[in-house]
Amino acid sequence: MIRTVIAGLGNMGLSHALAHHAHPESEIVGLVDRSGRDLPEALAAYPRFQSFEEALAETRPDLVCIATYSDSHADYACAAMEAGAHVFVEKPLATTVADAERVADTAARTGRKLVVGYILRHHPSWQRLIKEARTLGGPYVFRLNLNQQSDGETWETHKQLMQTTSPIVDCGVHYVDVMCQITDAAPRRVNGMGLMLSDEIAPDMYNYGQFQVVFDDGSVGWYEAGWGPMMSETAHFVKDIVSPNGAVSIVSTSDEGSDDVEGHTKVGALKIHRLSGDEMVDFPGEPGHQELCDAEQAYMLRAIAEDIDLSRHAQDAVQSLRICLAADESIRTGRAIDL
């Protein structure tokens, strides 16, 4: 039985906690939550801590699941591994490349397992998209975005996130990871632009951004992300991969709002365009958000039990973060960034 602590009980933390509650090989020994919020009945009886350090010292867990705000990820992950625990950490891995490398280096030195919350890696529809794109062959054009027309509680969450992390970094690491899995080439240069569209955020932050990335194999990528009540929901979900031999595109059938987490992973169908003609691939009964979180945590537990080599996973997480942080720097400085 794996003794597990969950740190952070927001949207993702609650889902991960429910995944461990339901898994027969995991025992939750502590929940870290400073807000004191009401919890689902399934989680209400577990010990709760306001301090991460206190939870780590008192419970001595085998696994720590970190779903706090991004600026605490690196310190919490390193502290947990130094204390002997394996770590699942939500994306982004850190808020700087140096901190991301510190986490990856700590995992390598301590021999602890490190999994980063790239939920799309566990989605069968996205796995098929990557496979089909690689079959077409490169070089590639990646056209990806995720704009969210958020208001009310979701806008408040986005404003809180933007105290430490821009939309480009927070959401972008998922889709840059997809780009990197498909091309498997090193990034060479990033160029970005962005704009502050609300006076409710800090003057040095932006809630709309886009960037272009060039890879060593000639592939080029575009990613766009925006948060807020002013965002358009027209073409808010674009997922196209184009190659000399055709294209693979997500045809979204989701009817959720653009800020609904369920709609961010649903594929609906793939349209595979080859020079010889088109093919539609449907995905009935694809997993919802909780099922994907269940799959992530099941993989984390399996990596511990089967001693899966996760060194490439850590390197990929650092790489995707490096690209997104370079894009963030480009947006803030107005100049292209060589990688």
Q: Report yes or no: 207 and 227 within 8 Å, Cβ to Cβ.
A: yes
- Say how far apart CA 60 and CA 80 lie, in whole Å: 9
Tell me, what amino acid is at 112?
Answer: R
DSSP string, 120-180: GGG-HHHHHHHHHHHHH-SS-EEEEEEEEE--HHHHHHHHHHTTT--HHHHHHHHHHHHHH
CB 7 within 8 A of CB 35: no
pLDDT digits (tens, 9 = 90+) for 247-289: 999 987 555 665 555 554 566 789 999 999 999 999 888 899 9
Residue 83, SS3 per DSSP: coil
Q: Which residue has the higher pLDDT, 240 or 171?
A: 240
CA 50 to chain centre: 25
334 Cβ contact partners less than 8 Å away, ≥ 6 residues apart: 193
- 25-73 pLDDT tens trace: 999 999 999 887 889 999 999 999 999 999 999 999 999 999 999 999 9
338: enclosing H helix or E strand: strand 337-338
Instruction: Report the residue count for the chain.
Output: 339
> Residue-wise over 158-179: b if at least 16 C-beta within 10 A, else e?
bbebbeebbbbbbbbbbbbbbb
Reported as a single tens digit per residue, the pLDDT across 136-194 is 999 999 999 999 999 999 999 999 999 988 999 998 999 999 999 999 999 999 999 99
Question: What residues contact 6, with CB distance under 8 A and at least 6 apart?
Answer: 13, 16, 17, 20, 28, 30, 31, 32, 65, 67
Distance, C-alpha 101 to centroid of its chain: 17
Separation in Å, CA 49 to CA 5, 59, 82, 171: 10, 10, 20, 29
pTM score of the predicted model? 0.91
